[in-house]
Amino acid sequence: MLDRFSEVDLKHWRRVSSDLDELNNDLYFGIEPQRRRYQPEMLAALQSVAPVQVAINSWVRNVSFRFSNSPLSAAGSLTGFGGRFNIGTDVEQALYKPWPALYLAEDLETAFREKFQLDRGERVDGLTPEDLALVPKDDFSVIHFNGYLDRVFDLDQKDCLKALCAVLGKMRLPAEARKIQRRLQIPEKSIFMIRTPSQLRKEVLDKNWRVSPAQFGLPAVSQILAGLILDAGFEGILYPSTKAGGRCLAVFPHNLASDRSRVELTNPGPANVILTRLDLNTADQLCGWEMLRPSQRP
């Protein structure tokens, strides 16, 4: 294998790697001054979207067996890169501090496919998700929830991203990023500023959203949008699963704004389960702040 590349190749690859790091940093930090400048307008644009009320009727969460005594805890979402709509501790260069989200799915198959990242129609060793639920490689508990959320941002709501994209249209790609792009001979159309709701929706629901956090320690587009939705005062985000036909819900426990908003176990839990309901009174205990260093906590 060592005969297949030379010292010159190694130097070239290191240079390209450095350029890619610089490019991605420019695309994030170079645009940050514009994000700060237009943040009031972006928040106003999101707040102009009518929040939807979501009735949670037997929605599902698959909880790793060792965490079964804390079925409503969002602590796990703070580990690693976080989730599609929250930032975890390993997104080292994010300007946002980490925040938690409680992820639910409206049916068992959607919950299963989201947890184990199985695409729609994909089977493992010829078994369906229902078959696998009986013989999982990882032990987990299937838990059902009822509840209600008063202020949810619905990504399927018509024109919900239109006003935000009108503000995004005022932002410009940093000139330095274009220089690096040309140096790397990256096609012009591969790097662009998001202008339309369809572009934004596509990026937010990208199956490979983890690329930016994993390779560069930077937040994904979906995480940046979620941070804005969080700051706009929404209690969560309703979105279509990228793995199944159902919907998913990312609940921001620390952003609950109504005493009507709650998520609770459908059935009585084991005696060791102390917190069986997420609401204004229990949210702080269920956020998982203990997972963060003091400097990372809000």
Question: Which pLDDT score is estimated for 135?
Answer: 45
Give the chain's domain count: 1
Residues 6+ apart with CB under 8 A from 246: 105, 106, 107, 109, 110, 240
The domain of 220 spans 51-171+194-296
pLDDT at 3: 61
Residue 14: inside a domain: no
Among positive and negative, which fits the CA dihedral 285, 286, 287, 290?
positive
Give me the pLDDT at residue 190, please: 82
pLDDT of residue 192: 86
CA atoms of 103 and 83, how far apart (whole Å): 9
The HSE-up count of residue 17 (CA atoms within 13 Å, CB side) is: 8
Torsion angles phi and psi, residue 139, rounded to 5: -70, 135
240, part of any domain = yes
Residue 5: inside a domain: no
Whether residue 88 is contained in a domain is answered as yes
- pTM metric for this prediction: 0.89
* Helix ranges (DSSP H) in the chain: 7-29, 32-47, 108-116, 129-134, 162-168, 175-183, 197-204, 211-216, 221-231, 283-286
Q: Is residue 216 part of a domain?
A: yes
Element spanning 140, H or E: strand 140-154
- The amino acid sitting at 114 is E
| Distance, CA of 145 to CA of 130 (rounded, Å) | 19
pLDDT block averages, 10 residues each, the chain of length 298:
64 75 88 95 98 98 90 96 96 91 96 84 57 59 96 97 98 90 84 94 95 93 98 98 94 97 93 94 96 85
Q: Report if residue 212 sits inside a domain.
A: yes
Residue 264 belongs to some domain of the structure: yes
β-strand pairing of 82-83 with 140-154: unpaired
Half-sphere exposure of 287 toward its Cβ, with a 13 Å CA cutoff? 20
Identify whether 217 is part of a domain.
Answer: yes
